[in-house]
Structure 1
Amino acid sequence: MTPKPHQKAGGDIAGGRKNMQLLIQLRWIAVLGQITTIAVVSLVFEYQLPLLPMLLVIAGLILFNLFSLWRDRLHQSVTNRPLFLALLVDVVSLTALLFLSGGATNPFAFLFLLQVILSAVLLEVWATWIIVGLTSISLAAMTVYYVPLAPLTSHAHPFPSAYLEGLLISFALNAILLAFVITRITRNLRSGDAQLADLRQRAAEEEHIVRMGLLASGAAHELGTPLATMSVILGDWRRMPELTGQVELQDEIAEMQAQLQRCKTIVSGILLSAGETRGESSVKTTLRTFLQDLVEEWRNIRSIETFQYDNRIIEDCPVVFDTALKQMIWNVLDNALEASPQWVSLEIGRNDELLQLEVSDRGPGFPPEMLAEFGKPYQSSKGKPGGGLGLFLSVNVARRLGGTVEAHNRAKGGARVKLTLPLAAIAIEDPPATWRPPG
């Protein structure tokens, strides 16, 4: 069967849980309205009603609504079946109440239309037609079989006038409920469509990351041979008799070998990240130790005039980190350094079970259009080909760990990027008994 536009593949309806919550709210409104109507008809219009059976029906409806509330708190997915069951219960309870209070002669019989409209909006086609058939059969049967309304006294409100008043109230109630329900359902459907669009966007971004990873891995393999060749040549130059006595040239060759070794380390890191999973390439350490080592390593290989580092974490804990997380933080620091070579600040704190890192600079800040599309690929203020990929990768790594990356412009000038990560995603749940923090 082809799903409706608002229905997800696999049977789960977009916004289904919100629609079930809407039915629960409507059921409470129905219970209040039914009790009020019974009181008015009995006390004001002075008609005799079978109060005990009617109150039992309302009590059953309350119990079902409490069960629905309990199920909603379990955060279970809501498909066509539970919505269909909920509307069936509403139709059966309304039928029972109408049967006990005049059947088709009761002006509130028009509330059947509300059930039909709700089923047409919320349910699959086959379920909608079952509701249509059930309400039609129920209303037709109650033209013959029902408990008639009997006046308590000869001074009771005349039936035609009471019927017209009830008809007006029923119409107004139907109109109000339909406007309320259709508005809420439309909002739920739009929310579901927005979620689907966000999932499609994330899938496209993840596909882009996979392509970039494949290209990076391929480039790392390709670079291995020329780097090895250059390493051999530099080693030969350093041992050549005519060059061994030239101190200045030997220093330059040593510097070239050091930079070449750094390139080989970067290539090895790319291959390691591409070929191993988080659990296989992770390293056990503590939160403060990891951050301290990360900052010292970044500061040693970058040229910066002033780097302010403020680690306000008091309570340390054992954690596990991999190269992807380290590179994510470095990407944000590198972007701040490019925008502000004279001054970069890194503030680290802990808010309950969240790790918060704020990187600030005194550069030109983010353009408004970039803030609006922050984290999207190729969104950069530098105007370079391929710009913006560092922040794009950082946002996706943070998202994979359940965190967020936010960007703002500082009032004093420059930009601030805030990374928030749940400690549960990086903490060691059950450390071995023999393990001790390093240091």
Structure 2
Amino acid sequence: MLQLVQLRWLAVAGQLATILLTHVVFDIRLPLIPMLGVLAGLVALNVASVGLLRRARPITNAELFIGLLLDVAALSAQLYFSGGATNPFVSLFLLQVVLGAVLLERWSSWVLVVATSVAFALLTAVYRPIVLPPDIPGDLFALHVQGMWVCFALVAVLLVMFVTRINGNLRAQDANLAEIRRQAVEEEHIVRIGMLASGAAHELGTPLSSLSVILGDWRRNKTIARNADLARDVEEMQAEIQRCKAIVTSILLSSGDARGEQSAATTVRTLLDRVIADWCVARDFTNAVYADHFGRDVPIASDVVLQQAVFNLLDNAAEVSPSINIRLAREDDALVLRVCDEGPGFAAEQLANLGKPYNSSKPELGRGLGLFLVGNVARTLGGTLAARNLAKGAEVTLRLPLAAIRLGEDDDG
């Protein structure tokens, strides 16, 4: 519809220029009032078409079909007042046929072919002849040939403009569909990972419970209780079992939903301070420098998956660097977390495929899922994940819009 609106504006300008040129330069008297009335009708049609474009729902085939039929009627009226089929611009009917073939469904395209053919046939018999002045310069046939050349050039230019624009739209649509398919494949992959993780968590529950019972029996055993070293070892094993059970419970609670039932009220600063501190303790990592430049705190909803995304981001940096720098900031009403490491950086292929599964330089099978899962969480919340190499190391940036995780409006808006 937008293409038709633009072409219709060109048609109005071209017809107005042609009418004035014929009337003023060649002194050929045309019925100006009805012909200008047809142009006014085209302007009204364009205004109505723009109104249709501003609606929320898509343009239908019927609306495009009616618009093209009205264009055919307007062209037929202009030709009727200016010589009918003897007018060299009668070939403009072909432009309407091409537009219909490109834009309309098959049945409506053929109806448009019939409509233009009938209009052409009627214009061969019913029209107002052009009254030429007696002193018109040049040969009449030569003027007709010149008019045919102008019509051919006009149709050729308009067709190239229109078809080129339509092809560009189709290429953009194909690229969008390819991106949607890629995201669907990635999300299917995430579902499979979630199902495998959930299944593994269920299967691990039984042996972990059995080990917990056995360790409890050992702890009550008098022989082990009298040996301080063995008692301490059993106590440490029980603590590790409880930690494993907590991890399994976390997997079961968070599988499948990035904003699920485990969401809790917190703030940006409280969440990041706690998550980074927990990560340093869990990984026994002491060389993490954390800088908070977020500004005024904002209440947000926190859940296990969001925390795990930050864990994965930090794990990815800690695997390749003995020290990391973490910077929290607020940019354009978005939470921005930057993690810089001192590792070897990303290969060009890794940067090009950032956010895709198994995109890792590590030789072990199954690696490269950390940033993939972080990128999926970012995309689910409407954010982005980006990476770049520094002079030494690399920087990974997680950006999340506060509107996606905010609990209420803060004073900063």
Normalising by structure 2, report the TM-score. Answer: 0.93
Secondary structure of 1:418's counterpart equals strand
2:383 corresponds, among 392, 403, 408, to 403
Residue aligning to 2:354: 374
SS in 2 for 1:93: helix
2:134 matched to 1:154? yes
Task: Give the aligned residue type for 1:52.
Answer: I
1:413 to 388, 392, 408: 392
Quote the RMSD (CA, aligned, Å). Answer: 2.0
In the TM superposition, what is the alpha-carbon distance from 1:209 to its structure 2 partner?
1.4
In structure 1, list runs of 5 or more residues that go unmatched: 1-19, 432-439
Q: 1:383 aligns with which of 363, 372, 375?
A: 363
Aligned match of 2:269: 288
CA gap 1:149/1:124 in 2 versus in 1, 3 angstroms = same
**Shift in alpha-carbon separation, 1:429–1:76, aligned structure 2, 3 A:** farther
Mapped to 2, the partners of 1:289 and 1:85 lie a distance apart of 60
Q: Which moved more, 1:305-314 or 1:100-109?
A: 305-314
Could you list the runs of 5+ residues in structure 2 that have no partner in the other structure?
none
Counterpart check, 1:423 vs 2:399: no
Shift in Å, 1:168: 0.8
Which piece of structure 1 moves more, 325-334 or 273-282?
273-282
User: Contact 1:311–1:348 (CA<8 Å) still a contact in 2?
Assistant: yes
Counterpart-to-counterpart distance in 1, 2:8 and 2:48? 12
Contact 1:46 1:157 (C-alpha < 8 Å) held by counterparts = no
Distance 2:4 2:398 in 1: 39
Counterpart of 1:15 in structure 2 is: none
CA distance in 1, matches of 2:83, 2:336: 66
SS in 1 for 2:319: helix
Which secondary structure state, in structure 2, belongs to the residue aligned with residue 320 of structure 1? strand
Identical pairs, percent: 50
Cα separation, 2, equivalents of 1:429 and 1:83: 44
Task: Determine if contact 1:48/1:150 at 8 Å carries over to the other structure.
Answer: yes
Partner of 1:269: 250
The yes-or-no answer on 1:42 pairing with 2:61 is: no
What is the match of residue 61 of structure 2?
Answer: 80
2:303 alignment counterpart: 322
Q: How is 1:103-182 mapped onto 2 (pairs within 5 angstroms)? A: 103-151=84-132, 153-157=133-137, 159-182=140-163
Residue aligned with 2:150, SS: helix
Count, aligned residues: 409
Pairwise CA distance, 1:348: 2.0
Partner of 1:228: 209
Deviation at 1:400, TM superposition (A): 1.5
Q: Distance in 1 between matches of 2:256 and 2:311?
A: 21
Distance 2:310 2:13 in 1: 56
Kindly provide the amino acid, as one letter, of the partner of residue 135 in structure 2: H
CA contact (8 A) 2:298 2:406 kept: yes
Q: Does 1:299 align with 2:255?
A: no
- Please show how residues 247-262 of structure 1 align to structure 2 within 5 Å: 247-262=228-243
1:315 CA displacement: 2.8
Structure 1: distance between partners of 2:266 and 2:394: 31
Distance in 2 (CA, whole Å) between partners of 1:428 and 1:77 is 34
Deviations 1:86-139 (A, max 9, x none): 322322222222222221111111111111111112221111111111111111
1:307 deviates by 1.2
Output one character per residue of 1:19-70: Cα deviation in whole Å (capped at 9) or x when no partner: x322222122112111111111111121111112222221221222233233
**Cα-to-partner distance string for 1:181-201 (whole Å, 9 max, x where unaligned):** 111111111111111122222
Equivalent residue of 1:47, what SS? coil
Which of the numbers 326, 333, 343 marks the counterpart of 1:346?
A: 326
Secondary structure of the 1:358 match is strand
Shift of the 376–111 alpha-carbon distance from structure 1 to 2, 3 Å rule, reads same
How far, CA to CA, are the matches of 2:15 and 2:70 in structure 1? 15
SS at match of 1:91: helix
- Give distance in 2, aligned partners of 1:326 and 1:82: 50
DSSP-derived class of the 2:64 partner? helix
1:75, distance to aligned residue in structure 2 (A): 5.0
Which residue of structure 2 lines up, in the alignment, with residue 32 of structure 1?
Answer: 13
TM-score, structure 1 as length reference? 0.88
Aligned-partner SS, 1:285 = strand
1:45–1:162: 8 Å Cα contact kept in structure 2?
A: no
Amino acid at match of 1:46: D
Deviation at 1:287, TM superposition (A): 2.1
The equivalent position to 1:243 in structure 2, one of 196, 207, 224, is: 224
Once residues 107 and 125 of structure 2 are traced to their aligned partners in structure 1, the CA distance between those partners, rounded to angstroms, is: 28
- Give the Cα–Cα distance (whole angstroms) in 1 for the partners of residues 398 and 4 of structure 2: 39
> Structure 1 residues 204, 258: closer, same or farther in 2, change over 3 A?
same
**SS at structure 2 position matched to 1:381:** coil
- The whole-number CA distance in structure 2 between the counterparts of 1:191 and 1:291 is 39
- Matched letter for residue 405 of structure 2: I
Q: Conserved in 1, the CA contact under 8 Å of 2:335 and 2:399?
A: yes
Asked if 1 retains the 8 angstrom alpha-carbon contact of 2:85 and 2:120, the reply is: yes
2 CA distance for matches of 1:409 and 1:430?
A: 36
Q: What is the rounded CA distance, in whole Å, between the counterparts of 1:194 and 1:57 in structure 2?
A: 40
Letter in 2 for 1:122: L
Matched, 1:308 2:289: yes
Q: Decide which moves more: 98-107 or 251-260.
A: 251-260
**Contact 2:387–2:396 (Cα < 8 Å) also in 1:** yes
- Helix, strand or coil for the counterpart of 2:284? coil
